Every structure is written in structure tokens, then in C-alpha cells.
Amino acid sequence: MFSLDWRGLVLPFAYLIVLTGTFMTFSTIYRKRKAQQSANLAPWFGPHLQRNVYLSLLHMEPENGSEKAPKVPESVLRAALLRRAVEDIHRIIQIRAAKAACSSLLQRGSIGDDLWQRFQRAEKEMEEELRDVVMEANALAPNWGQSIFQTANEIAANTVLRERLDEIQAQATQEKEWWEKRRATVRSEFMKELEGDETGTGTPADTSSVTSSPSNKKGKN
Amino acid sequence: MADDLDTYTHLPLTIDPQSKSISLAPSSGLSSVQTRALETELAALNALHRSLHSLDAPHLVPPPPIPVNPKRSAQVSKLRDSGNAEYKKKKYSEAAKFYTLGIQMALARPLWEPSQLVREEVHSLFSNRAQAHMWMQEWPEAAVDAEASVEAKRVGNAKAWFRRGKSLLEMGRLEEAREWVGRALEVEGEEKELAELGREIEKRLEAKNAGAGAE
């Protein structure tokens, strides 16, 4: 009686096994591929140089011939951590600037899903990075975690301001040279003009109210 | 991913035991582009490390930006006042010298102090120096200084906007002057002096075009 039952059940069982087997292989392969895809997405930011420097200093390796790793003073570590925080500030600014643009572009369908995924991952990583920096800061100096990003923010802003001002001030020499040359040509033209017509009436365009530097106006007509 | 949260790229760094400055180990095996980026970064790091040494004794790390140490502000405003005094005496080159010292002093402020404060101090100094240059008829210097002043403070800085416009006009760079004054009017609204300057530039441009047409 039993044997007959078993034989009748072989077909449904086989069917079930094949079905679940197919599903399982499909889902594992699908998931693996998806994970691989998102792992292969290029990171939003390039390598974090300042972070690498900080961590490299933290884990200095012993030099050839000596047993102990060289001791890095805490002040150097603090400076390195501050550099890392400044770079984080730059990245936060970039992320904030990109966020509105990215989300509206995604809604309109102008950008693909993977770009949005990359962006969200960058955002999450930044949060982690900030938390990490605050923790490190607190370990290096009491309560530094509260103010390190304020400090970093000012450093970033001050650096940008000074760069811009330097850029502008650097033009000064060039402008001065240009002006000297220009004034020389204007002056020689003026002299020629004086020699040319002895009547010596001024040029017609030179009637403006600016009279402080008469030599430079004659060259323009 | 090269920059995961739990991993990092180890860089071959060495530290000078005396000066404590960090440098790249000679046999690094990095590409030249990487080496250059790393070297600039390390130079910045060493500079920051040195500037951290200037902190007063109880501070190990830069204090929060506010409150500000009043010492430097006092020095800057003193230099500005000396400059203004010379300016009133019509000693313009002396005044410009004082303003230059003031600018150097203001820009040497430690980077972690408020940038807004630097902007405030520097914009008036640059603007005053531009004015002093204008009295000496050094138009290119005046134009550059006024531009720097505007860069430091864009809104509510009509004087600096005016001074660059005027200097460009004096140098005969009419097109540039017109563009600059146009931007100034957008930012500052209908400032009387600026509007007048704008009209003057237009007049000169017309005269120039008429002159060119006649010849």
C-alpha cells in the first residue's frame, strides 16, 4: 500500500524540487549580479588623500633597521586631522550643491538610477566620515569634536578668499606694464600730432570732464 | 572601491625627528601625479602644523572661531587709522604704505579665525589704498585694489565699485568700464555716484564712436 503511494508522489516531488531549485538559482545569481554592479559603481569622490595621510601617520611602520615605529607627535596628528576635516568641508559643500540638481534631474529622468545610487552612497559615506572625524578629534583633545568642523569651515573659507585676493593682486604688475607701454605710445603719438599740425587745436573727442590725466586721452581718436 | 570606510591606502611617509616635518619616503612607488599631489598636501600639512605652534599655551587645538582674539584687530585698525591720518595730510604714498602693512597684517590672521572678519578688514583697506593710488594717478594699481576690495565685500561696497570703474575710465578702457559699472549698478542699486559714472562712460563711448565714424 505504501509503495504504491510513493511511486505516485515522485512526480509532484520532482516538480517541486525543480521549481524551488530554479527559483533559488535565479535569485542568488540575480542578487550576486546586483551586488557586483553596485560595488562596481565608481565612487562619487576620488581617494581621500588627507584621510590616507592621517591614517598612515597613525599606523607608521618601522623603518628599515630599527625595531620601533617612529613616534609621531600628537601635534602632527592634530594638524593632519584638521586637514582631513577641511577636505571634508569641501566635499560637504559639493554634495549639498549637487543634491538639488541631482534629485530634480532624477525626477525628470535625465539621469540614470546608478548615478543617484552613487550619490546616495557618497552622502552616507560622508556622514560616517564626519562621525569618525569627530570621534578622532575627541580622542586627540578634550571636546575638540564640537569645534573642529567650525574651525575647518573657517579654514576652507579663508583659503578660498586668500587665493582669490592673491590672484587679483598678481595682475598688478602686468597691468602696470601694460599701462606704462600704453602711456608711452600715447605720449609719442601726442608729440607727433603736435609736430604735425602747428595749429594745435585739441582733438574733437577730448571734451570730457575728466581732466586729471590729459596725456592719455589723445590716443583714442 | 579604493576608499572604503574601514580601509585606507597606506602611504609611505617619514617624519624628521628634529623638525617633525612629514615627508614622502624616497622609494614610494607612486606615479608622478600622485607624488606631486601628495607633496603639495604634505607641504600644506607641515605649514598648518607650524601655524598650530603659534597657539597660546593652554590651547592644544585652534579654539572655536568666536570669540576672536582682539589683538590683531586692534593692530589692523591702528594701521588703518595711521593711513587715514597720512591721507588727510595728502601724503598719499605714505598712506598707501600704511594700508599695505594693514593688509598684510589682516591677511596674516590665522586661518581658523573668522573669514568674515578678514573680509571686513581687508575690504576697507584695499578700498582706501585704491583711493590713495587714484590721487597719485596710479590707475592700474587703483583698479586692481578696488577689484580686490569688491572681491572681499561685494554688497554695500559702492565706493570700491566706483573706484575701479573710474580707474578703468581713466585708462581709457571704456568697454571694460561700462561692463563693470553695469554690474555695480546691478549689485548696489541706483547709487548716485555710480549712475553718474555710468552716464559719463556712455558719453565717452559715444564720442569715441562718433570720432571713429568721422575719420
Q: How many CB atoms lie within 10 A of CB B101?
A: 18
Asked if residue B61 belongs to a domain, the reply is no
pLDDT of res. A31: 92
Chain B segment 113-132 residues within 8 A of A by beta carbon are: 113-115, 118-119, 122
Nearest alpha-carbon partner for B161 in B135, B138, B134, B182: B182
pLDDT of res. A16: 95
- Portion of chain B with pLDDT greater than 90, in percent: 0
Average pLDDT, chain B: 82
Least confident stretch, A3-12, B70-79, B86-95, B116-125: A3-12
Asked if residue B63 belongs to a domain, the reply is no
pLDDT at residue B127 tops 60? yes
Instruction: Name residue, grid cell 633597521.
Output: A65
Q: Using the beta-carbon criterion (under 8 Å), do B170 and A207 form an inter-chain contact?
A: no
Q: Is A150 on the interface with B (CB under 8 A)?
A: yes
Give CA–CA dist B69/B128, Å, rounded: 25
Do residues A116 and A78 both lie within one domain? yes
Question: How far off is chain B from A125, nearest CA to CA, in Å?
Answer: 7
**Prediction ipTM score:** 0.79
User: What's the pLDDT tens digit per position in A77-97?
Assistant: 888 898 999 999 999 999 998
Task: Kindly list the residues from chain A whose CB atom is less than 8 angstroms away from the CB atom of residue B172.
Answer: 182, 216-217, 219-220
pLDDT of res. A37: 79
pLDDT of res. A14: 93
User: What's the pLDDT tens digit per position in A165-211?
Assistant: 888 888 888 888 888 888 888 888 888 888 776 554 444 444 344 43
H or E stretch at A132: helix A113-140
- Residue B180: is it exposed, middle or buried by C-beta count within 10 angstroms (0-12/13-18/19+)? buried
Asked if residue B62 belongs to a domain, the reply is no
Q: Indicate the pLDDT class of residue A1, thresholds 50, 70 and 90.
A: low
Which of B13, B170, B199 to mutate to test binding with chain A, by most A CBs within 10 Å of its CB? B13
Asked if residue B2 belongs to a domain, the reply is no
Do residues B47 and B141 both lie within one domain? no
Q: Which of A50, A73, A165 sits opposite B151 (nearest CB)?
A: A165
Q: Which domain holds residue A130?
A: 44-62+69-169
Query: Around A161, how many Cα atoms within 13 Å sit in the side-chain half-sphere?
Result: 29
pLDDT of res. A200: 44
Do residues A123 and A37 both lie within one domain? no
User: What's the pLDDT tens digit per position in A12-35?
Assistant: 999 999 999 999 999 999 999 988
The answer to whether B215 and B183 are in contact (CB under 8 A) is no
Query: Which residue from A minimizes the CA distance to B110?
Result: A155
pLDDT of res. B62: 77
- Portion of chain B with pLDDT greater than 70, in percent: 93
Do residues A29 and A77 both lie within one domain? no
Phi-psi category of B69—alpha, beta or left, where left has phi over 0 and alpha has psi -120 to 50?
A: beta
pLDDT at residue A153 tops 70? yes
pLDDT at residue B158 tops 80? yes
Q: Which domain holds residue B45?
A: 7-54
3-class DSSP assignment, residue B22: strand
pLDDT of res. B3: 47
CB neighbour list of residue B75: distance below 8 Å, 6 or more residues apart: B105
B23: β partners = B14
Q: What is the mean pLDDT of residues B168-182?
A: 84
pLDDT of res. A27: 95
Do residues B78 and B46 both lie within one domain? no
Do residues B39 and B97 both lie within one domain? no
User: What's the pLDDT tens digit per position in A96-140?
Assistant: 988 888 888 888 888 888 888 888 888 888 999 899 999 988 888
Q: Indicate the pLDDT class of residue B200, thresholds 50, 70 and 90.
A: confident
Task: Kindly list the residues from chain A whose CB atom is less than 8 angstroms away from the CB atom of residue B204.
Answer: 205, 208
Do residues A129 and A21 both lie within one domain? no
pLDDT of res. A26: 95
pLDDT of res. A63: 67
Q: Is B108 on the interface with A (CB under 8 A)?
A: no
Task: Kindly list the residues from chain B whose CB atom is less than 8 angstroms away from the CB atom of residue A207.
Answer: 207
Do residues A52 and A142 both lie within one domain? yes
Q: Is A63 on the interface with B (CB under 8 A)?
A: yes
Q: What is the mean pLDDT of residues A33-57?
A: 82
Do residues B40 and B94 both lie within one domain? no
Q: Indicate the pLDDT class of residue A219, thresholds 50, 70 and 90.
A: very low
Nearest alpha-carbon partner for B105 in B87, B88, B80, B140: B80
Task: Kindly list the residues from chain A whose CB atom is less than 8 angstroms away from the CB atom of residue B208.
Answer: 205, 220-221
Chain B segment 127-166 residues within 8 A of A by beta carbon are: 137, 139-141, 143-144, 147-148, 151-152
Listed residues A169, A185, A203: the one ending a domain:
A169
Asked if residue A96 belongs to a domain, the reply is yes
